[in-house]
Amino acid sequence: MSYRAMKTRRKLRGTSLSEGDQSVSSTPSNGSPEFCVANFPTEGASLLARSFGVGRPTEDEVEELRLSDWFNPRKRPDVVTTTDWLAPVIWEGTFNRQVLEEYYGRQNLTIGLAVLATGRIADQYLELFIQSASKHFMTGYRVIFYIMVDAFYRLPNLEPGPLQTVQVLDIRGHDADDFHLMRMKNLAVHIVGHIQDEVDFLFSMMANRVFQNDFGVETLGTSVAQLHAWWYFKNTENLPYERRPGSAACIPLGQGDFYYDGTVIGGTPLEILNFIKEYLDGIMRDKENGLNSTYERHLNKYFFIHKPTKLLSPEYSWDTVLWPPAQVWLVKAARCLERAF
């Protein structure tokens, strides 16, 4: 039995996996996808339960994996390993990969990795992105690479590894002035159209990165946020949140916890769809008020309100411009700027 089939009838420490997820309708009268959003659960116990990314077993399923079975925050006293809302922060040394592999190996999982690559980004980065992801992203599990391109001739020679498949998706419409808007609009269309039925977990990433070490199942969760390498080690008072009160992305002065990297987002397909819906709504509200905030600031406002159930340390999205400090033990993936090649 697949994980997707099981999760429709599992209980997650008293909370159904469908609770807080978005209900989706893909057959509106005009024939285009639409989606509606339900409220996320905000109770601490529910958030802690969701951080496991798994559910309570039935008699024919394996025993539920507890956070304490695989996560040991005391091994990294030099960094923040647990948030105020009890979500784990994944650093090298905090997790037991063997326990995770034994558990998830019995779940019959499929994980998706979506990337939008257009123009110069596709020409410069896409081939190396796919080559390195084939080697390091969720090795040993079924993976579907969703590659969204504006021109098929830009596709490099793709050679997926064992258990890996590639779907090349065309881009519908072009928001040339806003890459992230185009990225999220197209991802939403494909989640509603087919991705939600094909994968258990989904990551969306920018193509200008290289996987350097295993990016494994320790990263799986219902709602996964990436800590920003540039800002994690900075004074929290100086984090570049949107502070204008009229913006939908505004986090008031004196508030905020972490600053998240907009180049990576993960979770279940419907959780990602929830974020996209609120992001698009926020853009529309800002336009009505004559404002224009960035995608990353909207993402940070979303995670400020809807706390992620798992956070990835900067090791999972390091920036090649920065020299890794002592807290960064092992870079899993690195963001590569043009000047860094």
Catalytic residues: 296
Question: Could you count the other beta carbons within 10 Å of the beta carbon of residue 214?
Answer: 17
Q: Give the length of the chain.
A: 341
Half-sphere exposure of 266 (CA within 13 A, CB side): 27
Q: Is 182 exposed, middle or buried (0-12, 13-18, 19+ CB in 10 A)?
A: buried
Residue 340 C-beta-side C-alpha neighbours within 13 Å: 14
CB-based contact 308:258 (threshold 8 Å): no
Place of tokens 């990225």: 183
Residue 280 has a CB neighbour count (10 Å cut-off) of 16
Q: Of 188, 185, 121, 129, whose CA–CA distance to 158 is shortest?
A: 129
- Alpha carbon of residue 242 to chain centroid: 21
State how far the alpha carbon of 139 is from the alpha carbons of 134, 162, 318, 329, in Å. Answer: 8, 9, 20, 21
DSSP state of 268: -
